[in-house]
Amino acid sequence: MNAPLSKVNELTALAPEYVRSIAPYQPGKPISELVRELGLDEAAVVKLASNENPLGIGPRTRAAIDAALGEICRYPDGNGFELKAALAARFGLDMNAIVLGNGSNDVLELVSLAFLGPERSAVLSAHAFAVYPLATQARGARSIVVPAKQFGHDLAAMAKAVEADTRVLWIANPNNPTGTFAPASEIEALLQAVPQRVLVVLDEAYNEYLPLESKYDSVKWLKRYPNLVIVRTFSKAYGLAGLRVGYGLVHPALADIMNRVRQPFNVNSLALVAATAALDDMEFVARSYAENLKGLRQLGDGVEALGLDAIPSFGNFLTVRVGKAADIYKRLLKRGVIVRPVASYGLPEHLRVSVGTADENARFLAALAASLKE
């Protein structure tokens, strides 16, 4: 039963003001929703809105999930031993330096839960990943937003923006939705400039997509900078977005604190076995990388041929200036192509398109060409 409006207001007033003023995260439109709304054939819809892996999942990962299904009546291993052991071996770290999350989004939340609160602040860049201001505000902390430099993080300005009450500095590298990348030298300069009471969260969700010449070893910095929090995910290059699993690599003292605010079974059992298997599926990640590079070129060339500017991307997506983005977005939907509007990121003229299969990319480009002419 719906309460009368005054009652609704009274009820919402029970939440602190910083919760009431949260603008909810806007996810990419699910295929099923567009099918319902426009009566399109599901097979005719292309979703390039959430930076998902167009290749699906690797064969080993699928086999591991199949094998684990029978045990789904049991609670997962709340400590994620197998996955942590595999990650520890991969990165040459102790298992107690790893925090697992229900997606890396959960790890970001754990940082904010454990270290932010009223009378504390966090520094972030304009156009940065939406979860940073959300997780900051949900704890009653203040966001200090630093203007971007050519759509990317201005790391020198971010270091300078730190105030006495700052406890967290959020960095996405590459950043979503801009695809911009800061070289290792700039990040290390920031780590040197920032006081150690500020946790530097380095979100590397797209790390596996970096071209060889841009790759850098952030894990080795953990020894020198105990305030560094590296966050990675299985949602992108490993193809496990639907299962929700990510991880943080941190000083064991920070891991201990983050584990205190974590739900005891935050990562489900299928996610644990799938991620452990996926970590070994090197061939799949290599293929994801190679296909993505081709797809980025296809999209880049395609939008250039249409006379549009794109922000050079280091991720698995491309953010393109289309002008009246809200209109173009709707016209694309009518043609069965779902992309992501990014006005809420301060980019009202851009649309973000995820790299799909060659065929999906071609369908997007054709639909975009038609939508621009409409």
Ligand X SMILES: *Cc1c(COP(=O)(O)O)cnc(C)c1O
Name the residue type at position 103.
Answer: G
Q: Binding string, 155-174, against ligand X, x = CB under 6 A? A: -----------------x--
Residues 246 and 233 sit within 8 Å (Cβ to Cβ): yes
Residue number with CB closer to ligand X (28 or 76)? 28
- Applying the rule CB under 6 A, the residues between 224 and 263 that interact with ligand X are 233, 235-236, 241, 246
Q: Is 53 near ligand X (CB under 6 A)?
A: no
CA dist., res. 103 & res. 248, Å (int): 10
Q: Is 356 near ligand X (CB under 6 A)?
A: no
- Residue 17 dihedral angles phi and psi, to the nearest 5°: -55, -40
Q: Is 180 near ligand X (CB under 6 A)?
A: no
Least CB distance from residue 8 to ligand X, whole Å? 31
- Applying the rule CB under 6 A, the residues between 280 and 299 that interact with ligand X are none
Residues 289 and 54 sit within 8 Å (Cβ to Cβ): no
Residue number with CB closer to ligand X (115 or 314)? 314
Residues 252 and 96 sit within 8 Å (Cβ to Cβ): yes
End-to-end Cα spacing for the chain: 44
Least CB distance from residue 309 to ligand X, whole Å? 22
Residue number with CB closer to ligand X (112 or 371)? 112
Strand ranges inside 25-162, DSSP E: 46-47, 98-101, 121-125, 142-146
* Long-range contacts, stretch 116-121, CB < 8 angstroms, 24+ apart: 116/140, 116/141, 116/167, 116/168, 117/141, 118/18, 119/165, 120/165, 120/166, 120/167, 121/163, 121/165, 121/166, 121/167
Strand ranges inside 126-256, DSSP E: 142-146, 166-172, 199-203, 228-233, 246-249
Select the residue whose beta carbon is closest to ligand X and give its number. 103
Residues 172 and 129 sit within 8 Å (Cβ to Cβ): yes
Least CB distance from residue 229 to ligand X, whole Å? 13
Residue number with CB closer to ligand X (51 or 143)? 51
* Residue 261, token pair as written in the block: 């605010």
Least CB distance from residue 70 to ligand X, whole Å? 26
Binding-site member from 52, 203, 291, 360 for ligand X (CB under 6 A): 203
Q: Is 129 near ligand X (CB under 6 A)?
A: yes
Least CB distance from residue 235 to ligand X, whole Å? 3
Residues 231 and 108 sit within 8 Å (Cβ to Cβ): yes
Name the residue type at position 43.
Answer: A
Residue number with CB closer to ligand X (99 or 367)? 99
Least CB distance from residue 205 to ligand X, whole Å? 4
Interface with ligand X (CB under 6 A), residue total: 14
DSSP bridge pairs for 171 = 202
Residue number with CB closer to ligand X (172 or 270)? 172
Residues 270 and 69 sit within 8 Å (Cβ to Cβ): yes
Binding-site member from 53, 61, 104, 292 for ligand X (CB under 6 A): 104
Binding-site member from 29, 45, 46, 51 for ligand X (CB under 6 A): 51
Residue number with CB closer to ligand X (105 or 166)? 105
Q: Is 205 near ligand X (CB under 6 A)?
A: yes
Q: Which residues bind ligand X (CB under 6 A)?
A: 51, 103-105, 129, 172, 176, 203, 205, 233, 235-236, 241, 246
